[in-house]
Structure 1
Amino acid sequence: MSAPLPPVAEILETLHVVSLPMSVRFRGVDHREAALFEGPEGWAEFSPFLEYGPAEAATWLAAAIDFAFEPQPLPHRDRIGVNATVPAVAAEQVPEILARYGACRTVKVKVAEVGQTLEEDVARVAAVRERLGPAGRVRVDANAGWNVDEAERALHALAEFDLEYAEQPCATLEELAEVRARMRDWDIPIAADESVRKATDPLAVARAGAADIVIVKAQPLGGVRRALDIVEQTGLPAVVSSALDTSVGLGQGARLAAALPTLDYDCGLGTASLFTGDVASDPLVPANGEIPVTRVAPDPELLARHAASAERRAWWESRIRACHALLDT
């Protein structure tokens, strides 16, 4: 961040820590914790996943501070097309989950879940394709769960469902580049997520020829401006996705998507539909496959209803202090 860092006391003064219930278990949790605070520009969210240490989480705090305290880049659009997200559930649960999203034309399906089989992935993707029909768009996300041979075998098995792209099939750049080369004749583009947001050099994926598309997220990349710069430097088309944010964080993601000069893909910003409670009285859930580009202010009653315990609030305060100290150096 180029602007002066606000004192940590100023951040903690407006801090609210919430725990939102989820409709299905996702990333191993059934409640999502997040810290929210207000600055001169409005409310922002700090919600790195619980297992992230201060060094990684500090980038998320930089993003929240930037969104709360600094004017944001001007938007090019006022609505963002979004995809539905289907966690690694049984195929028979797919209709129930998709019903929460309404008329989305694009669905991202989680695959390669630990303890599950390729047959379960195929059944889940088949159920999504059946629900969407031939005109819908289906993308899969393996979260780096396969090696190269597993990825090739899985994507061949899933190719009959006309995949829009495969997100992060493998962990390393070398593996992604190899999978991309093997899948070129199958016309399945490769998208990079973890290889961008968790990399010390988020541009390396483009230099290595390891992806056709980059997935960018405002919080993990340090804010809207830094994410825009990364997309510009990669020269690749981008999909803006959420980090399982509350509606406050989704507002920041929508602002990033709106600021991109071009936006060729629906974005992963419809994840408020995975919650059974939110902090906003008018949450950013998809309507006709879109969400508006708007800042979200939490509802005081909902902040109180979903407030985390005093112990969890103290944990988040300590986390913010640690991350702020790193940013201050």
Structure 2
Amino acid sequence: MSDEWKASAVGEGDAKSWQLLEKTLLAGVQEQRRARRWGIFFKLLTFLYLFVALALFAPLLDWQKGASKSGAHTALIEVRGMIADKEAASADNIVGSLRAAFEDANTRGVILRINSPGGSPVQSGYIYDEIRRLRAKYPAIKLYAVISDLGASGAYYIASAADQIYADKASLVGSIGVTAAGFGFVGVMEKLGVDRRVYASGEHKTFLDPFQPPKEEEERFWQGVLETTHRQFIDSVKQGRGERLKVEAHPELFSGLVWSGEQALELGLVDALGNSSYVAREVVGVEEVVDFTVQETPFDRFAKRLGASVAEHLAMWMGFQGPALR
């Protein structure tokens, strides 16, 4: 065997060794990458699991934290934002909190702290009726509505069911009226040359369609619906407030106007000026406050930030919503 052939054989052996070593190293790197990817996947899966678990069980922990507190207390329930289904101030949430507060053996009084522009007459009426039912069932427990920044329309509807209403001197109170707003796009469609085609059974089925011109008889009908709802609103407020309202001296009381807390006191819309701390301490006589408000889960807050309700609100803004107490 010649020296030249041996050198060639040794060179080929070294090349194969290097190739084998390179493949081994690449396989190791790929395996590390694969393991790292799986590690990230399982970490994300664990995080998602913990997030869902927190979203499901955090409200229960918060509820037990407040409701199981020993000793006499004043129950607090927040009414914040729009009063509507699937909102924080929905009838289901508020009514559930009211029932829990009244049923608690340590509750000495209930404060409904309100900061809301109003909303659905159905949701407001549901809460109003439940307040009156609970007051009759638990006559020893008084319910006080405390208006902070705003207690208007449907929010005042709810407040009028309370034993007494308190507000700050600068609070905005009242707006006892009904509204249903929308837009009309008929002129815009004519300018754009767009033809609206609607197929419906029923002569007035599309009377709220913003892309068709309104008809006089349909406008009269819709105004009648609003006036009926307004009358129901007025009757409920009168039933709740009774002779405290200065209706004869102020006939504009039910006109939809809004007043400051100081003016509302003169009109009989509120009973006194004060905040929730004052009412708990000086009126109920129990300074310890326990919050019975239904809390949103982290998942709900996250979903809202993503805009899960954008389509629903867009439809409302375009005129497809029902009457609102505002």
TM-score by length of 1: 0.32
| Structure ranking higher in helix proportion | 2
Greater Rg over alpha carbons, structure:
2
